[in-house]
Amino acid sequence: MASTSQNADGIIAGINVTPMVDITLVLLIIFIVTAKIIVTPAVPLDLPRASQSEEIQVVFSVIVPATGPTLVNGEPMATDEALLLLAGKAVGQDPEVRAVINADGAVPHRRIIHTLDLLKTAGIAKVAFGALPPDEGNR
């Protein structure tokens, strides 16, 4: 341990750097731990991949308008059971089916989460959200 020493005039001849090193190491550990938390996303996303292959990807289209019933592949769904039935059929035909949800901006969040829960219950694991590209003039 380094210690400070004073001469007869009262001048400090040495500086104790041990507390500064301790604080620096503690800060380094805090930064390392928080960096790992910041890097991991809170919600895992399954983003679509671009490919040049000729393989056809099956898409299960779900449109959630602000008013009116949910549309599945263009057909209105009167009940949740009808949506579950069609989603189950789509999974039966292709287990790798991808659902694309196009929701109006005025739709309540709980309605979107409910739709996601229905799709997951039916066995659809890959979900994407449709969005319009930003206007070039608004940048």
CATH of the domain at 85: 3.30.420.270
Whether pTM > 0.75 for this model: the answer is no
Confidence of residue 48 (pLDDT cuts 50, 70, 90): low
The residue to which tokens 């949740």 are assigned: 80
Percentage of the chain with pLDDT > 90? 18
Facing residues of 63 across strands?
71, 102
**Cα–Cα distance measured from residue 86 to residue 123, given in angstroms and rounded to the nearest whole number:** 11
Distance, CA of 125 to CA of 79 (rounded, Å): 21
Q: The domain containing residue 124 runs over which residues?
A: 59-138
| Helices and strands: H and E segment counts in the chain | 3, 5
Alpha-carbon distance 51 to 88, whole Å? 27
The reply to whether 85 and 24 lie within a common domain is: no
The pLDDT of residue 134: 65
Sheet holding 59-64, edge to edge: 75-77, 70-72, 59-64, 98-103, 126-129
- The answer on pLDDT for 68 being more than 80 is yes
Residues 65, 124 within the same domain = yes
Task: Tell me the per-residue pLDDT of 11-24, one tens digit each, with 9 for 90 and over.
Answer: 777 788 888 999 99
* pLDDT value, residue 49: 64
Give the pLDDT score at 60.
85
Q: Are residues 82 and 129 in the same domain?
A: yes
Per-residue pLDDT of 80-125, as tens digits, reads 899 999 999 988 988 888 888 888 888 888 999 999 999 999 998 8
3-state secondary structure of 4: coil
Let me know: does 65 contact 111? Beta carbons within 8 Å.
no
41 falls in which pLDDT band (50, 70, 90)?
low
User: What is the number of domains present in the chain?
Assistant: 2
